[in-house]
Structure 1
Amino acid sequence: MDYKDTLLMPKTDFPMRGNLPNREPQMQAKWDELKIYEKVQNRTKGRPLFILHDGPPYANGDIHMGHALNKVLKDIIVRFKSMSGYHSPYVPGWDTHGLPIETALTKNGKVDRKSMSVAEFRKLCEEYALQQIDRQREQFKRLGVRGDWENPYITLSKEFEAQQIKVFGEMAKQGYIYKGKKPVYWSPSSESALAEAEIEYQDKRSPSIYVAFPVVDGKNVLDGDEKVVIWTTTPWTIPANLAITVHPKLQYSVVQVEGNKYVVASGLLETLVKELEWENHQVIKTFEGEQLEHVICRHPIYERDSLVILGEHVTLDAGTGCVHTAPGHGEDDYIVGQKYNLDVLCPVDDKGVMTAEAPGFEGLFYDNANKPITEKLEEAGALLKLNFVTHSYPHDWRTKKPVIFRATAQWFASIKDFREQLLEAIKEVKWVPNWGETRLYNMVRDRGDWCISRQRAWGVPIPVFYGENGEPIITDETIDHVSSLFRQHGSNIWFEWDTKQLLPDGFTSEHSPNGTFTKEMDIMDVWFDSGSSHQGVLVEREELERPADLYLEGSDQYRGWFNSSLSTSVAVSGKSPYKGILSHGFALDGQGRKMSKSVGNVVVPNDVMKQLGADILRLWVASVDYQSDVRVSDKILKQVAEVYRKIRNTFRFLLGNLDDFDPKLNAVKREDLPELDRYMLIKLNQVIDKVKKGYDEYNFSAVYHTIHNFCTIELSSFYLDIAKDTLYIQSADQHERRSIQTVLYEVLVALTKLVTPILPHTADEVWAFVPGVDEESVQLTDMPDALAIDESEIEAKWNKFMIVRDEVLKALENARNEKVIGKSLTAAIQLYPSAEVKQLLENVEPLHKLFIVSKAEIAGEMAEAPTEAGKFDDLAIVVQSAEGETCERCWVVSTTVGQNETHQTLCVDCATIVTESY
C-alpha cells in the first residue's frame, strides 16, 4: 500500500499562482456579464445612503499613479460601505473643458484654429474629450473600480451644463456675480485669465531696481526737492505707475546723500545704506507716513503725476517702505487705488505685449521691456541701482510659463458677502486629516474675489446678454431660458445661434429700447464647472443627494475643487456640498522624488497592471499612509506582491483543506469545539473588529497589516502549522479534524469578505471555490460580524500558552543550530516549568502536537532542570533527538513504529487509522 494515498492532503483547483494580468480581465468580463454594479445597487436599495461624490479627473491622456491612488481609495470605501449596511451608488465623472484640450488639438491634432468658427472648433474639442473619457474609463475599470461606468457625469453633457447655468444664475440673483476691471492672474502664454488654483510657483530670475521719483509738491511736509525711493522686481510695470503707497503708521526719514534728499522708511534705512552704498548719509527729517498723504511726485519717465497715498499692506519686509503702485498690475495696488479714484491703467495686451499706453515701449513683450525701461530710467537719472534676484514667481500650471497681474474686464464671483457662512460651513465638516480644516479655513478667510471668466472657446458660456447701453442683463427669465435651451441642445448653440434666438420670445429690457442685444463671448472657469457638480450631479441624479457624505481628492484640491464646490454650494443652498473631506498626498518615486519623464522615474499604472495585476496595485494603495505623500517603485511593488502571495497561499491552504467539507453537514457546533479551535475563533473576531474599524476610519494600512499579520502569524505560523497533522493524517470524519475544518471555514468566509474592498478580483476568485455559499459574487454579501463568543478565560489561557510556545520554538531553533536535531519532528523535549506554567501546560493537550515535536513531557519543576537545559523566564527546556523510528505516514519519530504486523512502517496511531479506514 502506498501510504501517501491514505493521507487527506489539500485538494483544490484554486491556482497557486495569481496570474492576475490575465485572470483579472476575465473576472471583469464576468462582472460585466453579471451586471454586478446594478446587482449591488438592487441588493442594498432602501438602506441608508452613503454618497462618495467623485471629483472629476481631467479627460486628457492615460491615467497616472495619482489617478490610481485616488480611484482605488474611493473604490475601497464604496465597496466597504455597500457591504456594511449602506446603499452607496458611485457615479464617476470627468472634467472636460479647458485649455489643455484646446492645446492638444491645435498642437498635436494639427487643427487650424483660425480657419474655423468657434462652434466648429468646440465640436472637435467635444469629440476629443469623449475619446479621452473612453480611454480613461477602460483604464479605471481595469483597476477594478466599480461604478456606473455607462452613465458617468460629464461636465460637457447637456444636463450638467443646464444645472451649471442655474448655479451661475442663482449666484447672480444673490448679488455675488459682477463684472469689473481689476487685476487678475493673466497668462500671456494661454491668453487668458487664470484662477488661483491654476497657479504654481517656480523660481524666476528678475531684475531688481531702486527708482527715485522726484517730489513736485511736498504739501508743506516736504520741501519739494526730495525724491521718494521705490523698489520693484517688475520694471515693465513702471509705465503703469500712478502712485506710491506708504504706511500711515510707519516712520519715514528724509536722508541727505551727496546733495540728494531721499525719502525712505526709517526701519529700512540701515539696509538701504548698504544696498545703495550711501556714504556720509544724514537723516534731516522724520515723520509718520500719514503726513505724506497727497504729496505729488513726478513719474520718472512720463510727464505725469504719481500721487503718494496710504495703504495698510505696506511692510518693512523688503524694499524701501514706499511701494510702487500700478493699479492695473496688482491686487493691493488696485484696492488702494480705488480709494483714491486712480485709473486702472494696464498698458499690456492679451499676449503680454506693451501697448500704446506705454509710449516708447509699444510692441515689446513685457519681459523684454525690462531692459529698455531700466535704460530709460538710468538716462533720466532715476535709477539708483540695478541688480538681479532669483525668487519664487507665479507660473501657468499648464504652459509652465510666467504669469502677470493684469487688469482686464472680467466676471467675478464675490465671496465677501457670504464669507462668514463659508467659514461656519467649514467648521461643520468632518476633516481627515484634521489639518485640512485649518488649511481651507485660512484660504477662504484670506481669499479675494474669484475671477470666473476665461477668454477661450472650449467651456460653458457665461449666460449674460448686453443691452444697447452696454449694461449686462441677467434675469430669472433669461437664466431659466438659457438653462432650458442648454438642456435640450447643449451649450454650443450659444456660438451657433443669433443672440435673439437665445433670448425668450418677446423679451424686452429697459437697457435696449430698440430691442437689440448682444451676448457675452467669454466662458466660465473650469473650476466653476467642476465646482457646480453638487448641483449638476448630486441634485440632478435621482439616486444621489446633496450634501454628499464624502469628497475624496488629492491635497491640491483644497485650493481647487474643495474650495470652488464649497463657494458655489453655500452661495446657492446655504450649506456645504459635503459632510466630510478626505485628502491624500502625491505619488512619488521610491526615493521620494516627483515623477518625471525626463528623469525616467515614472511608474505607469497600465504597466503595473500588465506586469503584476490590478490587485497588487490596490494592495499597495492599502499599504501606504496615503494622507501623506506616498512612494512607489518596482522594488516596493514587488514587496507588496510578496505579501499578496502569502495572502493568496493562505486562501489556497484553507480551500485545499475544505475540499471534503460541507458546512451544512460537517460543521461542529461552537460549544463542541476544542479550546484551541475556539481560541482561533476569538482571534478571528478580533481581526474582524480591527479590519472593520480600519475601514470605517479610512485607515486602510491598519486593514492591510491586520490581514497580513493574521495570515502569516496567527494562521500560517501557528494554527495552520499545528492543524496540518490532524487535517492530513486523521480519518475524514474524526471530530478533531471536523472541528479544525469548521474553524477554517469560518476564517475563509470572513477573510474573503474582509479583503473584498481591497482585492475584489482575488476575493471573487476565492468565492467561486468556497463550499456552501449561495451568492454568485462575494460583492453581494455583507461584511462578517464578530461571532458571539465570550470566552475571555480561554483567550487569556491561550495567550499565555503562545508566550510559552515562543520559548519552546527558540529552544528548538537553538538545538537545530547546534545540530542536535533536524526538523522539529525529530525532537523530543523535556519541560521544567514554573508552578504557574506547569498548571497551564497540564491543561493543554496534546503537547507534542502543539509544539510540533515527536514527544513532549513535563519532566519536573523549573528548579530541577539540568544544567544543559535552555532557560527562559518561566521555563527550562531540554531538547533531545527523539527515540524510535520515523513513521512513514505521519513523520513522527515513535517507539511504536513496527508494532503493527500489517503496517510495520507506521506508528500505532497511523496503523489504526489505516486499518479502520482503508
Structure 2
Amino acid sequence: MDYRDTVLLPRTSFPMRAELPKREPLLLERWRQDHLYEQILEARSSGPRFILHDGPPFANGNAHLGHLLNKTLKDLVLKSRNMMGFFAPYIPGWDCHGLPIEAKVMADLPPEARDPLTIRRECAAYALRYLGIQREQFERLGIFGDWQRPYRTLDPAYEAEVLLLFADLAEKGLVFEGLRPVFWSTGCHTALAEAEVEYQPRTDPAIDVEFPLLPESCREHGLPQDTRLLIWTTTPWTLPANLAVALHPSLPYALYAVGGHHILAAEARAEVLPGLEGAARVRRFPRGEELCGLRYRHPLLARTGSVYAADFVTGDSGTGFVHVAPGHGMEDYLLGQEHGLPPLSPVDDDGRFTQECGIPELVGLTVWEGNARIIALLQAAGLLWSERAHLHDYPHCWRSKTPILFRSVRQWFIRVQSFQPEALRRIDEVEWIPSRARNRIRGAVESRRDWCISRQRTWGIPLPAFYREDGSSLLDPEAIRKLARAVARSGTDLWYATDDATLARQLGLPGGLRKGTDTLDVWIDSGCSHAAVLAPRGEFPADLYLEGSDQHRGWFQSSLLLSVARSGNAPYRTVLTNGFVLDLDGRKLSKMAGARGLSDFVAQYGADTLRLWVASEDYRDDVPFSQEILARISDTYRLLRNAFRILLANLHDFDAARNRVDEEEFPELDRYMADRLRSLVRTAVDGYRRYEFPAVYHALSRFCSTELSAFYIDVLKDRLYCDATESAARRASQTLLHRIAESLFRLAAPLIPFTAEEAWQSLGKSRSVHLELFPEEEAPQNDVAFSDRWERILDLRNRVNEALEISRQAKEIGKSLEAEVDIYSPHFLPADEGLLAEVLLVSRVRLFPSEPVTIQTRRASGRQCARCWKYSEEVGKTDPSHPELCPRCTAVVQARGDTA
C-alpha cells in the first residue's frame, strides 16, 4: 500500500514567494477602504495618550532614504505603542514655506511675473504638488496616519497661530530690530539661520599684516617709535572695516627687533611665524593686558584704532593679535559694543564693496576679488608681513552653495539671552535618546545669542512690522493679533494684496506707515508647530519628538526656544535622535546628486524589506546603506516569511476553539517551547517600549531561525505528520504553534505590517492584526531545575549531531533516523529515552547512568517503517494487513479505515 495519503503533510495558501511590490499596494488599498487608521484610534480611544509630534519635512522634492529612516522609525514607535494599548494618533506635517521652494520657483519664473502674489501663488502650488507626492510615498511604506488632514505651515489657521505666538513674544519685549552681523547669502540675497549654513572646504589667503603704532602711544608704553603690531587674518577683505585689534589678556607677548624696526607678537607664536624665527627679543610682557590701550594707524586708511582684551584670542594660531571688524563677525561685534564701536560693513547685498569702504580701488569689486587687491595694496605700503594659502571649513549657503559673508544688516531678532537660562533648565528636564544628545542641544543653546528671524524673501509668513517715514519701525502686539484673526480667514496673501494705508487702518494703526517686506525665518514656522498643532488638540507637551541629529541646531532648538519664550516649558518630554543614511564611503545619501529615490527601492524590494532594514540598524548613529546590506536583509525577511508559512501550514486542520489543549497537559517539549515563547514576548515588547528596535529584530529572527525552524518544527515533524489527527500530543503541539503564530504575527506587525497582515488573515482572522494588542507579557517559569535540564538536553543534541555527522561521513548512516544512540550520562533516566529519541531525531535512544557523558552511535536495528521512516524491531508485527508499518503507524492507519 502507498501510505503517503495517510500522512498529515502541511499545506497552506500563504505563498513563499512574497512579491511584496505587487501584494503590498493591494493591502494598502484595503486598509484605506476599511478606514483602518480610524478603526485603530477608535479601538484605543480609552487608552492612555501617547503623542509623537511629527517634525515637518520640506515639501520640495521626492522622498529619499533619509525620509525612509525617519518616517519608518516614527511608525515603529506609533504602531508598537498602539499595540501596547495606547491612544497614539499620527498627524503628519509639512514645512511649505522658505528658500528651498522659492529658489526653485524663481528659477522658472520670468522677471515680468515676479510680483509678490504671483511668486506666492506659484510657490504654494509647488509645495502642494510635492506634498502630495511625498504623502503617497510615505503612505506606501505602510505608515498609518491622518494623511487626508495633515498639518501644513501654509494653512491660514496655522499661519495665524504663528502670528499669535509672535505677538506674545513682541509683547514681552523679546523681539527687536538691530544692526549687527548675520549670516548673509549673496547667492540668495537674504540672511540665513544657523541651520541653513553648511561647511565646505575652501582655500583663502591667510596674511600677517603690520599695524604701525602711533608715536604718542609708543611713548606712553615705553616702546620704540617704529613699533608695529603683527596681526593675522584669513579674510583680508574685512580689513577696510577694521576698527580695533584684540589680544588675550593673560598671554605673554614680546617685542622683537626685525629688519630695522620692532614687532609685537605673542611669545608663543614667535617661534613659528615666518620672519620672526630667531629674532632678537627686546622686551617681554608677561601678560597681554599690559598692552591694552595701545593705539595704531590703519594700514590702508586714515583711521586709528585701539587694542582691547578679548578671550576669543588664542595662542594656538596666528600672531596673538586679531584684527577686529565689528560689522563682520559676532565676536568682533560684541567687543565693539563693549567699547562703543559701530558695526561698520561697507559691503552690499551682492557682496561688493561700497563707497563706505574708503578705498576707491575696491568699490564695486566682490569681496573675493577684493582679497587680491587688498594684499597688493598692503604690499605696496610695505606692511604685508607674509602671505600663505589657508585651507579651512568655511560656511556656505545650503541652497545657493555660495560662500557666506558675515555682514552687518538691519534685521529683526529675538532676545534669546533673555530666556536662555530657563531654556537650559528645561533641557535637563527632558529625556534625550541617546543621552549624549543632551550635551549637543545644550551646546547649541548656550552658544546662541540673538536669533535673526527676518528673511529677505517673499514666500513665507510676513514679519508684521511697519515703518514710519523716518525709517523707524513699529511692532504692535495688538495689531499683530488683529492680523492673525484676518489671516485665519484669508491667509497671509492679504499682507501683499492690501495696500499699506488700508492694512494699517484695518489693524488700528496710524496713517503714514509702510508695511515691511521681510518674512519670518522658516524655523519660526516649524518651531511654532507645538502651538499650532499640539496645543489646540490638548496634546502639549508632546511625549516624543523624533528627528535627525541635525535638528539640535534646527527644529529641536527652535521649538524649545519658542516654547520656553512663550510659556516657560519645553514642548516635548522625550527627544529621540536618528543619524544620517550613508553609503559605504561615508557620504550622506540624501544629499548625493543622482542617488536613487525612495520609490525606486520600494518598487524593487517592497516596503517590508526596507522597514526591516530600518529596524535592524542602530539608528542613533549614522546608518550604512548598500545593495549588499539590503540583500542580507532580504535573506532575513525570507527567513521570517518561511517561519510564518511553516506555522500556517502545520495548522491547516487545527481549530483553536475545538482542538485547543491546556498547557498543563502539554508534553515536556512543548512546555519548554511555551517558555521560550514567553521569553520572546517579554524581550520584544520591552524592546519596543525602549525604542530598541534592533533588539526586536534580532529576537524575532533568532527565534524563527534557531528555536522554531531549526529546532521545534524539526522535532515536531514526526508528531505532526504521523500521529493520529486527534492525538493529544499532536493537538498540544498545534495549540502551541497557534499561540506562537498569533504572538509572532502581532510582534512582527510594527516591523513588517504588510506581511504580518497577510499571515494574520491566513490564520483565519477576520479583523486586522493592527487592531490587536501585543501578547501578554507573562513571566517565564521560574524553575531552575527545568531550565538546567533543557540546557543539558540541547547540549546533548549538539553533541549527538556531531557524532551522527561522523557516522554519516563514514557511510554508516544516511538520515539521522537510520541511527540509534547509546548515551552514558548521570543526568537522565530510562524514562527520558522516548523524549530524547524525539529531540535527537533518531529511531532509538538507550540511556545508561554513568560518567563522564559518552555518546555511541550505530545503524539502527530492525526494519524501517514505510510511513514514518523510523526503524523498529516491531515493524510488521501488529497487523498482517500492514506488514511494513510500526505499531504507532498501524494504529493510525487502522483508525482511518485504510486497507491494503
**TM-score scaled by length of structure 1:** 0.94
Q: Distance in 2 between matches of 1:697 and 1:417?
A: 36
1:623 aligns with 2:616: yes
In structure 2, the residue matched to 1:871 is: none
SS at match of 2:170: helix
**Contact 2:504 / 2:513 at 8 angstroms: preserved in 1?**
no
SS at match of 2:417: coil
Which of residues 819, 828, 832 in structure 2 aligns to 1:838?
Answer: 828
In structure 2, the residue matched to 1:672 is: 665
**Contact 2:65 / 2:589 at 8 angstroms: preserved in 1?**
no
Q: Which moved more, 1:19-28 or 1:820-829?
A: 820-829
In structure 1, the residue matched to 2:438 is: 437
Q: Distance in 1 between matches of 2:523 and 2:860?
A: 76
1:811 aligns with 2:803: yes
In structure 1, the residue matched to 2:332 is: 333
Q: Which moved more, 1:409-418 or 1:279-288?
A: 279-288
Deviations 1:573-619 (A, max 9, x none): 1110010011111111245444388797x454322211111000001
SS at match of 1:254: strand
Q: Distance in 1 between matches of 2:795 and 2:105?
A: 68
* Offset, 1:536: 1.4
In structure 1, the residue matched to 2:560 is: 566
Deviations 1:389-419 (A, max 9, x none): 1112111222222111111011111211111
In structure 1, the residue matched to 2:416 is: 415
1:72 aligns with 2:72: yes
Which of residues 833, 844, 853 in structure 2 aligns to 1:875?
Answer: 853
SS at match of 1:538: helix
Shift in CA distance, 154/217, structure 1 to aligned 2, threshold 3 Å: farther
SS at match of 2:589: coil
Q: Distance in 1 between matches of 2:803 and 2:9?
A: 30
One-letter amino acid matched to 1:812: L
1:552 aligns with 2:546: yes
Alignment of 1:104-183 (within 5 A): 104-107=104-107, 110-113=108-111, 115-183=113-181
SS at match of 2:176: strand
Deviations 1:257-308 (A, max 9, x none): 1211222223322223xx1256653424647433444432211111122232
Which of residues 743, 746, 751 in structure 1 aligns to 2:739?
Answer: 746
SS at match of 1:636: helix
1:577 aligns with 2:571: yes
One-letter amino acid matched to 1:715: L
Q: Distance in 2 between matches of 1:831 and 1:289?
A: 87
**Contact 2:167 / 2:478 at 8 angstroms: preserved in 1?**
no
Deviations 1:498-540 (A, max 9, x none): 123334647245xxxxx21111211111111111111111113
Shift in CA distance, 767/261, structure 1 to aligned 2, threshold 3 Å: same
Deviations 1:619-641 (A, max 9, x none): 11111111111111111111111
Q: Distance in 1 between matches of 2:28 and 2:60?
A: 24
SS at match of 1:61: coil
* Offset, 1:69: 0.5
Q: Which moved more, 1:738-747 or 1:447-456?
A: 447-456
Alignment of 1:345-424 (within 5 A): 345-358=344-357, 359=359, 360-424=361-425
Q: Distance in 2 between matches of 1:504 and 1:816?
A: 97
In structure 1, the residue matched to 2:880 is: 901
1:654 aligns with 2:647: yes
In structure 2, the residue matched to 1:100 is: 100
Deviations 1:773-826 (A, max 9, x none): 45x101111111034764624344323322222222222222223322111111
Alignment of 1:583-598 (within 5 A): 583-595=577-589
Shift in CA distance, 177/40, structure 1 to aligned 2, threshold 3 Å: same
Shift in CA distance, 242/591, structure 1 to aligned 2, threshold 3 Å: closer
One-letter amino acid matched to 1:784: P
Which of residues 480, 497, 513 in structure 2 aligns to 1:517?
Answer: 513
SS at match of 1:438: helix
Deviations 1:156-192 (A, max 9, x none): 1111111111221212222221111101111111211
**Contact 1:827 / 1:855 at 8 angstroms: preserved in 2?**
yes
In structure 2, the residue matched to 1:910 is: 889
Q: Distance in 2 between matches of 1:501 and 1:564?
A: 33
In structure 2, the residue matched to 1:229 is: 230
Which of residues 705, 717, 720 in structure 2 aligns to 1:724?
Answer: 717
1:891 aligns with 2:869: yes
**Contact 1:201 / 1:393 at 8 angstroms: preserved in 2?**
yes
In structure 1, the residue matched to 2:791 is: 799
1:850 aligns with 2:842: no
In structure 1, the residue matched to 2:489 is: 488
Q: Distance in 1 between matches of 2:736 and 2:509?
A: 79
Shift in CA distance, 498/580, structure 1 to aligned 2, threshold 3 Å: same
In structure 2, the residue matched to 1:533 is: 529
**Contact 1:91 / 1:151 at 8 angstroms: preserved in 2?**
yes
**Contact 1:297 / 1:305 at 8 angstroms: preserved in 2?**
yes
SS at match of 1:579: strand
Q: Distance in 2 between matches of 1:896 and 1:328?
A: 102
Counting matched residue pairs gives 890
Q: Distance in 2 between matches of 1:87 and 1:687?
A: 25
**Contact 2:833 / 2:846 at 8 angstroms: preserved in 1?**
no
1:633 aligns with 2:626: yes
One-letter amino acid matched to 1:890: C
In structure 1, the residue matched to 2:498 is: 497
SS at match of 1:845: helix
Q: Which moved more, 1:193-202 or 1:219-228?
A: 219-228
SS at match of 2:317: coil
One-letter amino acid matched to 1:908: P
Deviations 1:532-586 (A, max 9, x none): 111111113x2x5111011111111111111111101111111100100111111
* Offset, 1:897: 3.0
Shift in CA distance, 495/907, structure 1 to aligned 2, threshold 3 Å: same
**Contact 2:48 / 2:85 at 8 angstroms: preserved in 1?**
yes
* Offset, 1:250: 3.2
1:29 aligns with 2:29: yes
In structure 2, the residue matched to 1:195 is: 193
1:283 aligns with 2:282: yes
1:709 aligns with 2:692: no
Shift in CA distance, 496/3, structure 1 to aligned 2, threshold 3 Å: same
Unaligned 5+ runs, structure 2: none
Unaligned 5+ runs, structure 1: 510-514, 864-873
One-letter amino acid matched to 1:179: E
Q: Which moved more, 1:436-445 or 1:694-703?
A: 436-445
In structure 1, the residue matched to 2:818 is: 826
Q: Distance in 1 between matches of 2:249 and 2:8?
A: 92
SS at match of 2:362: coil
* Offset, 1:202: 1.5
**Contact 2:563 / 2:571 at 8 angstroms: preserved in 1?**
yes
SS at match of 1:838: coil
Deviations 1:209-245 (A, max 9, x none): 1111122254311454322221111111111111112
